[in-house]
Chains A and B, each alone.
Chain A
Amino acid sequence: MRKPGKTLAPAPFDADEVRRLAEGLKALDGALLPILHAINDRFGHVDERAVPIVADVLNLTRAEVHGVLTFYHDFRRAPAPRHVVRLCRAEACQAMGADALHAELEKACRGGPVLVEAVYCLGNCALSPAALIDGKLYGRLDVAKVLELART
């Protein structure tokens, strides 16, 4: 099924495709999350216009779908830039200077094609500071390394 953290280039909204994805998964127990993942993966984000369609397919209200959608940071509400760096901000990485790294990255990436996001623990504490860069895990990072990895 879906590859964790993988972010595709954004595709234009397609109501029929959203409905098709939702119909295909609606028989699952607790189908809402798999459907939102499928849409997120397919389009790179979950467009607001997808919410009423998913609600209709699952016979839920817009409010219920919206509540779940906005609860999880992994579901994007808008197309992401080309590259996403999900930098760990949890304790072990903090101890290894992740906060400073974050500040430097923010500065370096502002307005560019690389989006820096926070994540709390990737289970890679022995190799802090760690980050997921475009879905792939890396450790012992510094600014230069991150930028190099993100731009390739």
Chain B
Amino acid sequence: MTMTDSASPATAAATPPAILIEDLHKRFGDNEVLKGISLTARDGEVIALIGASGSGKSTLLRCVNLLEVPDSGRVAIAGEEIRMTRDRKGVTRPADRAQVDRIRRSLGMVVQNFNLWTHRTVLENVIEAPVHVLGVPRDEAVARAERLLDKVGLAAKRDAWPSQLSGGQQQRAAIARMLAMEPKVMLFDEPTSALDPELVGEVLRVIQGLAEEGNTMLIVTHEMAFAREVATRIVFLHQGVVEEEGTPEAVFTAARSERCRQFLARETRW
């Protein structure tokens, strides 16, 4: 993808980044998963988060929309910092639930296991949040949902139940559900890890299309070829810290970190 960034330095400074993460820490019991991570995603950037299992990349992604509450550090979406507070036991929690809900509406998320609602058809899954969260009139939401299902190649499946779809179709339906909220930033948490190998391609193609439209994305993935082709920036996490960061070209061909080079050698062996 080509970036045409014609903004002058002055206006670039005035536009807050789509996502700003500063010195994020998160521990589960004795296990410190994130050890002070900072990351900035500007509008239109596609950032691939790579790293071994347990490196903290999924946790980092889930901290962006507060599905995990970080222990310390800052998260700001389009310049709006998510306000945090501590309860009497010292546990961090969001200070304002309504703010979290509002910010989540602007952040789309697609996860490994699709998590379509099994009690609703494909179309009902897609219109649910626009109608009941945003208050979009139903017929308008249906029209938009039909366009989106067409876009992800599921127009014929609008009245199917999630259980009647293949994994790849379910994931594409989940992507349509996310797109229906017209999110400003899209978060993908290993979107193809639960799919049979022959179904991976159809999902990656949809995500690639979204990247080429200029959407801002954070993608946790193990698909190295995909990351290299689609991302504008690669971030390699190792044991809860950013170990390597740069353009796909730089990271894949000339990583400074020995661990990153080893990881890429393992992941791209075949």
Are chains A and B native binding partners rather than an unrelated pairing?
no
Q: Which residues of A contact B (CB under 8 A)?
A: none
